[in-house]
Chain A
Amino acid sequence: EPEVTQTPSHQVTQMGQEVILRCVPISNHLYFYWYRQILGQKVEFLVSFYNNEISEKSEIFDDQFSVERPDGSNFTLKIRSTKLEDSAMYFCASSDGSGLRGYTFGSGTRLTVV
């Protein structure tokens, strides 16, 4: 079954550093998403991306965050200057736009800011 691949699985970074989280969505999907889950809390929407532009973003997705699809396969989330409160699990997901099948989530990147 097709998978969404996320790398790295765990990243530790110092406060103030830039991080890039990488995702390879399912190849025939057109809609891409990032979600965040702070430990022990619910999963929160960050941003959706379609046709090379942001479709929707949440209040969490401020100027420190950006997304990019630099080539035909990768989808990245960049955090410019990490803060302690950015420590969380970050999930990438992709969809073919059919709500019936929902999303396919990647296995997540655990980001730890120290």
Chain B
Amino acid sequence: AQTVTQSQPEMSVQEAETVTLSCTYDTSESNYYLFWYKQPPSRQMILVIRQEAYKQQNATENRFSVNFQKAAKSFSLKISDSQLGDTAMYFCAFMKYFGNEKLTFGTGTRLTIIP
């Protein structure tokens, strides 16, 4: 079974600064997907960024980027030029490769952007 660990329950950062959220996972699979989901106060789950394990290149989506270290089973999220709208819970999630599999989530990191 897969496990996902987020060791930072809460973080805060000043607006416009850069912040990195940590995620580690454990799996015996060699091919899989990793995701970061954002959950604002409305509690909707919003996909932020995804990474395919067979790709060495780190994914980027505008101000969001990941540092994927497959050997270390680490998948951190970097948010650059943070904005007030980035305030939310962030969940790291794992999916086996076939794409119709279940998501296994970490416990989340509550990120607060301070004006």
Contacts and interface: CB of A to CB of B under 8 A. Distances in A.
B99 interface: yes
Contacts of B50: 100-102
Given A42-B91, A48-B100, A105 B105 contact: no
Among A58, A101, A103, chain B packs the most CB atoms within 10 A around the CB of A103
A33 interface: yes
A48 B100 CA distance: 9
A27 to B, nearest CB: 17
A70 interface: no
Contacts, number: 70
B99 A45 contact: no
Give chain A's interface residue range (CB within 8 Å of chain B).
20 to 34
Contacts of B100: 30-31, 48, 50, 55, 95, 97, 99
Give chain B's interface residue range (CB within 8 Å of chain A).
20 to 34
Interface string A42-61: 11110010100001101000
Given A45-B102, A56-B102, A102 B42 contact: no
Interface of A: 30-31, 33, 35, 37, 41-45, 48, 50, 55-56, 58, 89, 91, 93, 95, 97-105, 107-108, 110
